[in-house]
Amino acid sequence: MYLTRRKNKDQITGLLSPLLEYIRLKNVCRWIFGKQILDCGCGSAKILNFLQGDYIYTGIDVAPQIIYENTILFPRFNFLCLNLERDNLSDLGKFDSIILSAVIEHLHNPILLLKKLYTHVHKETRLIISTPSPKFLLLMRIGLKLKILSKEAHSQHKKMYTKHEIEELLQKSGFKLKKYCKFLLGTNQLVIASPH
């Protein structure tokens, strides 16, 4: 069951936003592989509502309050307060699945992060990315006017990537596209990649 959590700074507003987040996380979770999971930009770690079984989860987020609350709510798991673009990630170890759910569109330099993450993969690692497509901009404009989508989330977007641009990011950072699909009427993209 999808748990309702109290409002945190990282949680988005907008009537429709929680539903879109739920659908996004369900799509991401279908592709998680292995026992060691790294969730970059984990926020309130809502993905844990969908994960089952014995796994070792590490969540990274830039917000200290969110990380503190996660450590209280989920003491079994590892949470780190780090800036994905600026901080050193070298002590993390290797992972079976690395998740970037609604993250790359917020970064100034996603290639820098992807290159950092490449040092934490083995030959079977699965990189799972979800990101809005450029088509989402039209939905966002309508949703903002109707106040059913999050103004905060939209204002933090740096760039919406096409499939071709995502493939270029992956290639430049050592990853290879394995699967690509769209969901939510083509407004969101799901990318599965592996090391070359």
Tell me the two tokens of residue 168. 């270029």
**Whole-Å CA distances, 186 to 29, 46, 137, 139, 192:** 19, 23, 11, 11, 16
- CATH code: domain 27-93+113-195 is 3.40.50.150
Provide mean pLDDT across the span 177-185.
Answer: 95
Domain boundaries of the chain, sorted by first residue: 27-93+113-195
Q: Does the structure show a pLDDT above 90 at 4?
A: no
Region of poorest pLDDT, from 43-57, 94-108, 149-163: 149-163
Q: Does the structure show a pLDDT above 90 at 57?
A: yes
**Is residue 63 helix, strand or coil?**
coil
Distance CA 103, CA 42 (A): 9
pTM summary value:
0.86
Q: What is the pLDDT, as a whole number, of residue 150?
A: 56
Per-position DSSP letters for 2-50, written without gaps between them: PPP----TT---SSSHHHHHHHHHHHHHTT--SSEEEEET-TTTGGGGT
